[in-house]
Amino acid sequence: MPRKPRLCFSYAEELLKKSQEAALSAVSIFNNPNIQFKSESFIVLMVIAWTYLLHAYYRKNNVDYRYYTTKGQSKRKFYDRTKRGAYKYWELERCLNERKCPVDKAAKDNLLFLIGIRHEIEHQMTTQIDNLISAKFQACSMNYNQTIVKLFGKKYCLGEKLQMAIQFFGFSEEQNRQLVGFKDVPQNIIDFIAEFEKNLSDEEIANPKFSYKVIYVRENANRSGQADIAYRFIDEKSATGKEIQNVLVKPGKEAAKYKPKQIVELMKKKGYKDFNIHKHTLIWKEAKAKNPRLNYGIELEDGQWYWYYSWFLRVEQEYKKILEAKSNEESTHE
């Protein structure tokens, strides 16, 4: 029987080093303006970072994090191995489910969310999810830094190495609408997010360890010493912060609302002359678009449902797919 490897702290140090490098690589890639494969790379690397971090913690605390089965009254351990004889160690989800796991619930929810997203995208190409879930990435990064410092000390802090990304452009009104609409986000991602978050309370969803949102405003400084500050950050709990906490979703004014017939009119103006209320109803029912988590619209005090502009973008996207499918079907029968 092979000897059980001695649980030495030097090995844990090596795990921590690799963990930190994986985390730094994840943030660096996501902040790189020349890389488009951002979300996928970030999730994979941060899963590795967290896995090694927890392996280091369990190793230091003599928790056996290898897969095994027990047999007989003696409960003798038989370790699972790869084809080449290596031990099979716990993946991140198993590490999080361990009774002695040091990660709090909000940070666990954040990681389980990202693991779920990874499962949705690992076998297929996806598009336009960076902005949709970037708040989860921010929370994940901050949770990682707080956790490694808490478990292993301040010398492992990455705060000074993780800098804010600088971008070469500002946002136009059209770009704002596109960011709000997430019009090219795959439906399986939207469905997963809605399904995952419906099991969380409003307080859990608002927890910055689950999803970290920063309120910031651009302003022209008029005083010496402030001229080089690109953005002013505001505490979301302050009076000013509460007033503008939806500033990124509603740029300077209340978001426009549309009745169903107005969505139909917008579609007709875009050239879809045969679009009607019935087709609109079929699309929103199929997409379960009145789920509040999707933020496609709102029911007002008059009891009527009003749609946001983001829903119009989604309708156009779905109707294009319907027309393309119909065209392909007709061509096969010719």
CB 21, CB 41: distance < 8 Å? no
CB 236, CB 215: distance < 8 Å? yes
Whether 259 has a pLDDT exceeding 50, the answer reads: yes
Looking at mean pLDDT, say which of 47-61, 228-242, 301-315 comes out highest: 47-61
pLDDT of 317-331, one tens digit each?
A: 899 989 988 888 777
Task: Give the rounded percent of residues in the chain with a pLDDT score beyond 70.
Answer: 72
Give the pLDDT score at 254: 52
Domain boundaries along the sequence of the chain:
9-199, 214-254, 260-325
Using pLDDT thresholds of 50, 70 and 90, give the confidence band for residue 265.
very high
Give the pLDDT score at 224: 46
228 Cβ partners below 8 Å, 6+ apart? Answer: none
**75 φ/ψ sector (left φ>0, alpha ψ -120 to 50, else beta):** left
Give the pLDDT score at 126: 60
Identify the residue with better confidence: 83 or 215: 83
Start-end of H helices in 238-276: 239-244, 260-269
Compute, in degrees rounded to 10, the torsion defined by CA atoms 212, 189, 118, 105. 40
Closest Cα partner for 20 from 166, 149, 209, 115?
A: 149
Whether 278 has a pLDDT exceeding 90, the answer reads: yes
Closest Cα partner for 282 from 260, 262, 303, 299?
A: 260
Residue whose entry in the numeric block shows the structure tokens 């896995």: 51
* DSSP, res 303: S
Q: How many angstroms separate the CA atoms of 138 and 158, rounded?
A: 14
Burial of 299 (0-12, 13-18, 19+ CB in 10 A): exposed
Identify the residue with better confidence: 43 or 126: 43
299 Cβ partners below 8 Å, 6+ apart? Answer: 290, 305, 306
Using pLDDT thresholds of 50, 70 and 90, give the confidence band for residue 104.
very high
Using pLDDT thresholds of 50, 70 and 90, give the confidence band for residue 171.
very low
Closest Cα partner for 135 from 219, 245, 35?
A: 245
Helix (H, G, I), strand (E, B) or coil at 51: helix
pLDDT of 22-39, one tens digit each?
A: 999 998 888 887 888 888
Q: How many angstroms separate the CA atoms of 111 and 92, rounded?
A: 9
Q: If you average pLDDT over every residue of the chain, what do you get? A: 78
pTM for the whole structure: 0.59
Length of the chain: 334
* DSSP, res 238: S
